[in-house]
Chains A and B, each alone.
Chain A
Amino acid sequence: MIVRRIRVLAVASLLLGAAVIAAVLDARTRTLDAEAIDRVVLRTRSSELALSTTSRWLRHPAEAEPGAACQDQPPCLDVDPGGLAIAPPRARFDRSVSVELRVEGSP
């Protein structure tokens, strides 16, 4: 009985070890595309990250508007984390995109 339990633990340890090795190998393939990022920053001359909501004053929190939340108090949270609790129905946006594309007739 004890031998069986030890075997189970040994197999679990081996599986876990294999998973760790797989994760380390996977991490090596996920590298930052530093040169592409450099090229974009050189073209836009802006290093601000596209992480905000589309509220305009949040897109460039450091640069855009002096009254923006992060200007007044650097580490403070967005006062407008749009859709944090309930996001608008995604389908509505999908529909509007397709309608617009038909009108514009993109080839």
Chain B
Amino acid sequence: MGALGRRASRNAAIVVGLAFAVSLFGSALFVVESLRAIHRRASREAPTLVVSRLEGGRPALLGPEEGDAIRELLGVRAVEPRVWGYVYLGALEGNVVVYGETRTADVPRDRVTVGPGVARLLGLRVGDRLAVSTPSHQAVYRVAEILPPSTALVSYDALLVDVREAHLLLAIPEGRATDLAVDVFPPEEVPVVAEEIGQRMPTARVLQRDDLARLYELTFDARGGVLGALLLPALAALLLLAWERLSGLSLEERREIGVLKAVGWATEDVLAVRMIEAGLIALFGTVIGLLLAYLHVYVFEAALLSRVMLGWSSLRTPLALAPATDVSTLAALVALVVVPFTAVSAFPAWRAASIDPDRALRGP
């Protein structure tokens, strides 16, 4: 401990560098893990299959006959035509997603449920009127509900209207649908039903829920990986700094090692002490780095990373994330940053430990 204190400025520089590197990698890992957790949760209630139709390689509307054909299949529990699409809101200079809901008869069709982003940017409150204008339809809706901010990552840019209104706003003829949400039970039947639909409807595109989940996993991994790769130069710079700082022995350090060896310390003892010093530095740097990453991602909503990871948008969803990091993620971080640092520290430690005590005490 005393030795650490005697080289306070050198060690502080390494701790700062290490904390910086850990916080950068940690932020990327925290964001990716939290997004992954949200999508996993959202997938639980998603339809087992989504069936759309292609015409000339482009998505086309489906009619009731396609839904009826799918309903006949064994294992299909429900088929729900989805009516959804994009509407450009001039006030936001961006697109919002309009979803059609099949409501009970006692809910007036001029009611709209608004996503938290649309509500925030337009300053909407429950009871306000919202005018929505598309080339096919113009309507004024009464805001019946604003979805909670805790759902922003699935609803930030959403407008939920009565399905009849969705048909009008999106210019989708009555009886037709954007795609079909199909629920299948038991889960083992999903691939069989998907294949059966593909055979019966050659122009159909059948997406399985697991495929969508896998796509998101891959996307998160890719984003996190690219970000990690971009941060590698920072890690390399840190290791170079550590090497440079740890390999230069001051006169005082040489004398210290000389005295220790003169009073009977073996090379292994000195090596062990030097490695413990490096370990303590790594521990301090890692903990500070993880705390900084936590603050950055969960308190400041990943302000520095979100644009790099997600780009710019007029309806950018704030990354109000919940921690979802497990021990294996932290272990990966330690393996990525702390292990190379400790490895870089080993050689200077061995060189210092194997110094000849006579030469060390006499000086250069």
Using a CB–CB distance below 8 Å, which chain A residues touch chain B? 2, 5-6, 8-9, 12, 16, 19-20, 23, 26-27, 30-34, 36-54, 56, 59-67, 70, 74-78, 80-84, 87-88, 93, 96-97, 100-101, 104-107
Whether the pair A104, B131 counts as a contact (CB closer than 8 A) is: yes
Measured CB to CB, the nearest residue on chain A to B308 is A84
Binding-face segment, B152-160, B192-200, B257-265, B327-335 = B152-160
Docked CA distance A104–B219 (Å): 40
In the complex, whether B349 has a CB less than 8 A from a CB of chain A is: no
Whether the pair B218, A74 counts as a contact (CB closer than 8 A) is: yes
Select one of B38, B39, B128, B223 contacting A106, CB under 8 A.
Answer: B128
Contact A2 to B2, CB < 8 A, known contacts A49-B154, A83-B311, A106-B129 = yes
Measured CB to CB, the nearest residue on chain A to B99 is A44
Whether the pair B59, A49 counts as a contact (CB closer than 8 A) is: no
Docked CA distance A75–B212 (Å): 12
In the complex, whether B304 has a CB less than 8 A from a CB of chain A is: no
Whether the pair B5, A8 counts as a contact (CB closer than 8 A) is: yes
Binding-face segment, B67-75, B245-253, B314-322 = B314-322
Q: What residues of chain A lie closer than 8 Å to B2, measured between beta carbons?
A: 2, 5-6
In the complex, whether B221 has a CB less than 8 A from a CB of chain A is: yes
Whether the pair A66, B59 counts as a contact (CB closer than 8 A) is: yes
B209 CB to nearest A CB, Å: 8
Binding-face segment, B119-127, B229-237, B266-274, B339-347 = B119-127
A12 CB to nearest B CB, Å: 8
In the complex, 26 of the A-B residue pairs with CB atoms within 8 angstroms, ordered by the A residue number, are: A2-B5, A9-B5, A16-B288, A23-B291, A27-B294, A30-B321, A33-B151, A37-B38, A43-B101, A46-B82, A47-B39, A47-B46, A48-B154, A48-B212, A50-B315, A52-B313, A53-B313, A54-B315, A59-B86, A61-B215, A74-B218, A96-B90, A96-B93, A100-B122, A104-B131, A105-B129
Question: Besides A32-B38, A41-B45, A44-B99, 8 other CB < 8 A contacts?
Answer: A5-B8, A16-B291, A40-B151, A53-B312, A63-B212, A74-B218, A81-B311, A87-B307
Contact A30 to B121, CB < 8 A, known contacts A6-B1, A100-B90, A107-B128 = no
Docked CA distance A104–B181 (Å): 35
Interface centre among A70, A74, A105 (most CB of B within 10 A): A74
A11 CB to nearest B CB, Å: 12
Whether the pair A49, B84 counts as a contact (CB closer than 8 A) is: no
Whether the pair A49, B216 counts as a contact (CB closer than 8 A) is: yes
Q: What residues of chain A lie closer than 8 Å to B153, measured between beta carbons?
A: 37, 49-51
Q: What residues of chain A lie closer than 8 Å to B308, measured between beta carbons?
A: 84
In the complex, whether B310 has a CB less than 8 A from a CB of chain A is: yes
Q: What residues of chain A lie closer than 8 Å to B82, measured between beta carbons?
A: 45-46
Interface of B is mostly: mixed
Q: What residues of chain B lie closer than 8 Å to A97, measured between beta carbons?
A: 91-92, 121-123
Contact A62 to B1, CB < 8 A, known contacts A44-B84, A84-B308 = no
A95 CB to nearest B CB, Å: 11
Docked CA distance A64–B45 (Å): 19
In the complex, whether B175 has a CB less than 8 A from a CB of chain A is: no
Select one of A47, A66, A93 contacting B154, CB under 8 A.
Answer: A47
In the complex, whether B41 has a CB less than 8 A from a CB of chain A is: yes
Measured CB to CB, the nearest residue on chain A to B320 is A30
In the complex, whether B54 has a CB less than 8 A from a CB of chain A is: yes
Contact A46 to B298, CB < 8 A, known contacts A16-B284, A97-B121, A97-B122 = no
In the complex, whether B222 has a CB less than 8 A from a CB of chain A is: yes
Whether the pair A106, B123 counts as a contact (CB closer than 8 A) is: yes
Docked CA distance A76–B147 (Å): 31
Contact A47 to B222, CB < 8 A, known contacts A5-B5, A54-B157 = no
Select one of A26, A47, A54 contacting B43, CB under 8 A.
Answer: A47
A3 CB to nearest B CB, Å: 9
Whether the pair A20, B39 counts as a contact (CB closer than 8 A) is: no
In the complex, whether B64 has a CB less than 8 A from a CB of chain A is: no
A81 CB to nearest B CB, Å: 3
Docked CA distance A16–B123 (Å): 41
A70 CB to nearest B CB, Å: 6
Select one of A50, A77, A88 contacting B222, CB under 8 A.
Answer: A77
Q: What residues of chain B lie closer than 8 Å to A45, measured between beta carbons?
A: 46-47, 80, 82, 99, 181
Q: What residues of chain A lie closer than 8 Å to B131, measured between beta carbons?
A: 104
Q: What residues of chain B lie closer than 8 Å to A80, measured between beta carbons?
A: 311
